[in-house]
Amino acid sequence: MAVPTFVDRVTLLVSAGRGGNGVASVHREKFKPLGGPDGGNGGPGGSVILRVDPDVTTLIDYHHNAKRKATHGGHGAGAHRNGAHGEDLVLPVPDGTVVTEDGAVLADLVGAGTEMVIAEGGRGGLGNAALASAKRKAPGFALLGEPGEERTIGLELKVVADIGLVGFPSAGKSSLIAAISRARPKIADYPFTTLVPNLGVVKAGDTTFTVADVPGLIEGASEGRGLGHDFLRHIERCAALLHVIDLATLEPGRNPVEDLEVMENELAKYGGLEDRPRLVALNKADLPDGADMAEIVRADVAERGWPVFTISALSHAGLKELTFAMAEIVTDARRERVVEVTERIVLRPRSTGGDDEFTITETGEGWRVRGTKPERWIRQTDFSNEEAVGFLADRLNRLGVETRLLQLGAKEGDPVLIGHPDNAVVFDFKPGLDAGASEMLGRRGEDQRLREDRPAAERRRAIDALMPYREESETRADVARRYDAGDFDPALLEDDE
């Protein structure tokens, strides 16, 4: 199997690093057994960043390795020591890379140094020193680090060039780009020699510009014939198009005027290139009858109002006039072009709660709460620590979740589900669960408000007891659904007790 050397489309799975956990720690020294909380914060996870690098011209590296992952943040420690920051993963991409997700364009990366944070690292969890307050002087818990973003994106390269060469196979496009620049594409006497786009840098007077040569167009390319139509996106950014017409084709039924008509028809079917200025180069004038053929068709071609040049890529005849004409078009286009400032694009996760901070909807399973803040707080909570669960309840109460539930008609004991339906956390609604008014009493890590027997607590304990009996492919959410449906043998819970 041939190994590709030019790749202009890839699918890439990027994963940012998880944030480190905060730590619950108490300062201790001689004669000061309880010197106050000193748990440090977890470090943020590393982000995945796309950066335009002028030295990169293909996406082949991501074709061979389509999964990229940044490093995790370090966990906090006692004595106010914060965790290390995860290292960002910078992925170099060619100039002109279009980033997509689920068919939608996220960004068009043009200009050296342009950056895009495609997956943001998870936040580090706060240690108990950062959580201490006048009402909670010695928290017995810390927050967990958040997972980093993970997304599957598409990268599509659209070459950034000033002039695009289009023409039939073997019209001499590769020979032309080799004659006017230092590019050395493959040149041979058979069709479809060019299999990938070629770029050349041309200097005409004080103007330097780039020329892109794409595989040859043929009639029916828009229906999938040949190669050129698939690569036309590489000339979408060009300031002008140069039709390279073969004056000495040996194929029956072809002539320069009809070739031009066919190419324009295919460009029209592709779309988006109607406003580009055109030039026409009648190539191979050095061959027998080539110059005579140029004189015969020149008037017909010029009827379109485009500049026409008779050239020979082999003998270099007419190339100086052609390159200066191209330079003039490029200069005019650059004068009108708005200067693009290098930018750093940061993608933010889409809000799950719309414009509000959260939404509540009634479902057959209970009251479902969705929103960026509630779901983030769920991810940060250590549910094995009662005090951390009480702190979560306080945060939700201050956000107004309890008030909204009461307004919607929720009653005590109703199930409240927070998060995505596939992995939601379920609580029983109990109004007035707030510890903000006084210092919590009890042992560290405990919350007296949660000590009573409540249906949700019973349900959680039952699910914990049934986890060893789950199928290999089942998750905790699957076990919870089976428990709610009564699919487990009650004897399993009795044995556990």
411-435 pLDDT tens trace = 888 999 998 888 888 888 887 655 4
* Residue 171, marked binder: yes
Are 415 and 471 in a shared domain?
A: yes
Domain presence at residue 344: no
Of residues 397 and 226, more confidence is placed in 397
Q: How is residue 36 written in tokens?
A: 């106050």
Task: Determine if residue 14 is labeled as part of a ligand binding site.
Answer: no
Question: Is 269 annotated as a binding-site member?
Answer: no
pLDDT of the residue at 350: 55
Contact (Cβ atoms closer than 8 angstroms) between residue 152 and residue 13: yes
> What is the rounded distance in angstroms from the CA atom of residue 391 to the CA atom of residue 125?
14
Is the pLDDT assigned to residue 202 strictly greater than 50?
Answer: yes
User: pLDDT value at position 87?
Assistant: 96
170 assigned binding-site residue: yes
Q: What angle do CA 73, 77, 79 make, to 5 degrees?
A: 140
Interacting residues of 344 by C-beta distance below 8 A, sequence separation 6+: 114, 115, 116, 117
One domain, residues 19 and 108: yes
Domain C-terminal end among 95, 127, 157:
157
Residues 6+ apart with CB under 8 A from 155: 9, 10, 11, 12, 59, 62, 93, 97, 98, 99, 100
The band of 128, judged by pLDDT with boundaries at 50, 70 and 90, is very high
Give the end of a domain, one of 106, 127, 157. 157
Give the count of alpha carbons within 13 A of 403, CB side only: 7
Q: Which residues pair with 368 in a beta bridge?
A: 361, 417
Q: Are residues 375 and 329 in the same domain?
A: no
Mean pLDDT of the region 192-219: 75
Within a domain: residue 489? yes
Same domain, 18 and 77: yes
Domain final residue pick, 126, 157, 188: 157
The pLDDT of 184-209, averaged and rounded, is 67
Residue 168 lies in a domain: yes
* Residue 67 vs residues 13, 130, 152, 343, 347: alpha-carbon distances, Å: 5, 36, 9, 25, 19
Other CB atoms within a 10 A radius of the CB of residue 335 amount to 7
Q: Is position 169 annotated in a ligand binding site?
A: yes
322 annotated among ligand-binding-site residues: no
The verdict on 374 and 301 lying in the same domain is no
Range of the domain at 299: 163-336
Considering the domain architecture, whether residues 175 and 152 belong to the same structural domain is answered as no
Q: Which amino acid is it at 376?
A: R
Q: Is residue 3 in some structural domain? A: no
Q: Could you tell me if 182 and 315 lie in one domain? A: yes
Tell me the two tokens of residue 441.
């009493």
Residue 341 inside a domain? The answer is no
On whether 168 is known to bind a ligand per the annotation, the reply is yes
Residue 451 confidence (pLDDT) above 70: no
Is 435 annotated for ligand binding? no
Asked if 198 and 181 touch (Cβ cutoff 8 Å), the reply is no
Domain shared by 267 and 308, yes or no: yes
| Residue 201 located in a structural domain | yes
Residues 229 and 94 in one domain: no
User: Residue 163 has which token pair?
Assistant: 């002039």
With cut-offs at 50, 70 and 90, classify the pLDDT of residue 354: very low
pLDDT (average), residues 225-246: 76
Same domain, residue pair 295 and 389 = no
Q: Is 286 annotated as a binding residue?
A: yes
* More confident call, 255 vs 491: 255
299 is in an annotated binding site: no
Has 214 been labeled as part of a binding site?
Answer: yes
Q: Is position 173 annotated in a ligand binding site?
A: yes
Q: Given CA atoms 44, 47, 53, 56 in this order, what sign does their dihedral have?
A: positive
Q: Annotation-wise, does 135 bind a ligand? A: no
pLDDT over 90 at 459, yes or no = no
| pLDDT of residue 258 exceeding 50 | yes
Q: Is 109 annotated as a binding residue?
A: no
127 is in an annotated binding site: no
Residue 95 belongs to some domain of the structure: yes
CATH number at residue 23: 2.70.210.12
| CATH number of the domain bearing residue 274 | 3.40.50.300
Same domain, 172 and 152: no
| 195 labeled binding residue | yes
441 pLDDT higher than 70: no
Q: Which two tokens stand for residue 473?
A: 């492919």
313 is in an annotated binding site: yes
Asked if 271 and 396 sit in the same domain, the reply is no
57 is in an annotated binding site: no
> Does the annotation flag 66 for ligand binding?
no
In this model, does residue 407 exceed pLDDT 70? yes
Structural domain contains residue 363:
yes
CATH number of the domain that residue 441 is part of: 3.30.300.350
**How many domains does the chain fold into?**
3
